[in-house]
A and B are shown apart, each in its own frame.
Chain A
Amino acid sequence: MGEFLVWVVWFLAAGGCLTSGVAVVSLTNPFYSALALIANLASLAVLYLLLAAEFLAAAQVLVYAGAVMVMFLFVVAYLGGKADAPWAGGPPLLRTAAVVAAAALLVEVVVVLGLAWGDDLSEPAEVTDGFGGPAAIGELFLTDHLLAFEITSIVLLVAAIGGVVLGTSREREAE
């Protein structure tokens, strides 16, 4: 019974993930596109939970669906009607090439997976209860990955400063 429930949750999350992904790419109004991405991130968080990544699922909802997407929606609102993006596409040849390239990518991954399918992919390792919790992740960040942790903070600082510099208008300086 428990196993059946896990499959049901997985199907709902995976289906929601894929349909909202298609919606993000195909909708013409960026506002609805961004809302679809929030749905996509939420269903991805459910998949993370099923993979025993509790801390990442929480961070995904807080950082992505919370902070990043709110910033995005603010910019879409600021741009107003300018932001509308009708389906314009390039020349038909380019469009066909894009679809073929994406399909080739997908086929490659599925073939590789099919070759590796079997015991390796179907039997996950045994993990303890704390796996993926904040304590385990935090300890790794402050021991093995301390340098990456510190550099990430610098990357975020540089990005914040860059965003301010790019967003400041030149006209105001000239006055």
Chain B
Amino acid sequence: MGPGVGWYLIVAAILFGTGALGVMLRRSPLIVLLSLEIMLNAGSLTLIAFSRQQGNLDGQVFALAAMAVAAAEVAIGLGLIVAMARKDMPLDVDQASTLRG
């Protein structure tokens, strides 16, 4: 039968933690985007693991929708990064603080 669903959930939890660390510690917007992808994928892995365990395909459908949203997010994020580079702003999320309250 192989590993139970719990093992997949542990992998997903560690992946999510890794991605969260990347988002919080790194300052390059490119790496922050990549770490966000890791977090999204950890969420998808959880959905698919539970979908397998329940024998219900709705989780997989949700994971597919999450994949589409992630693609949209990357398109917008990369557009923002290119716009930042065009304006000769430093690629550093800490320095992009004009909207800080």
Task: Give the contacts of B33-75 with A (CB-CB under 8 A).
Answer: 33-35, 37-38, 41, 44-45, 48-49, 51-58, 60-61, 63-65, 67-75
Closest 6 CB pairs of A and B: A125-B55, A85-B28, A166-B79, A6-B2, A159-B72, A25-B22
Given known pairs A25-B21, A76-B30, A152-B65, the reply for A124 and B70 (CB within 8 Å) is no
| In contact, B76 and A56 (Cβ under 8 angstroms) | no
Given contacts A116-B6, A124-B55, A159-B73, 18 further A-B contacts (CB under 8 A): A21-B18, A24-B31, A41-B41, A47-B8, A47-B11, A55-B60, A64-B37, A67-B71, A85-B26, A85-B91, A89-B25, A106-B17, A117-B6, A124-B52, A132-B57, A140-B58, A141-B61, A167-B83
8 Å CB contact of B68 from A25, A55, A122, A155: A155
| In contact, A56 and B75 (Cβ under 8 angstroms) | no
Closest to A51 in B: B52
Residues of A within 8 A of B44 (CB): 44, 56
Given known pairs A113-B13, A137-B57, the reply for A47 and B45 (CB within 8 Å) is yes
Residues of A within 8 A of B27 (CB): 85, 88-90
Interface residues of B (CB under 8 A from A): 1-11, 13-22, 24-28, 30-31, 33-35, 37-38, 41, 44-45, 48-49, 51-58, 60-61, 63-65, 67-76, 78-83, 85-86, 91-92, 94
| In contact, B81 and A79 (Cβ under 8 angstroms) | yes
Number of A interface residues at 8 Å Cβ cutoff, please give it: 86
Chain A min CB distance to B100 (Å): 15
Chain A min CB distance to B85 (Å): 5
Chain A min CB distance to B23 (Å): 9
Interface majority SS (helix, strand, loop, mixed), chain A: helix
| In contact, A132 and B17 (Cβ under 8 angstroms) | no
| In contact, A71 and B74 (Cβ under 8 angstroms) | yes
Chain B min CB distance to A28 (Å): 9
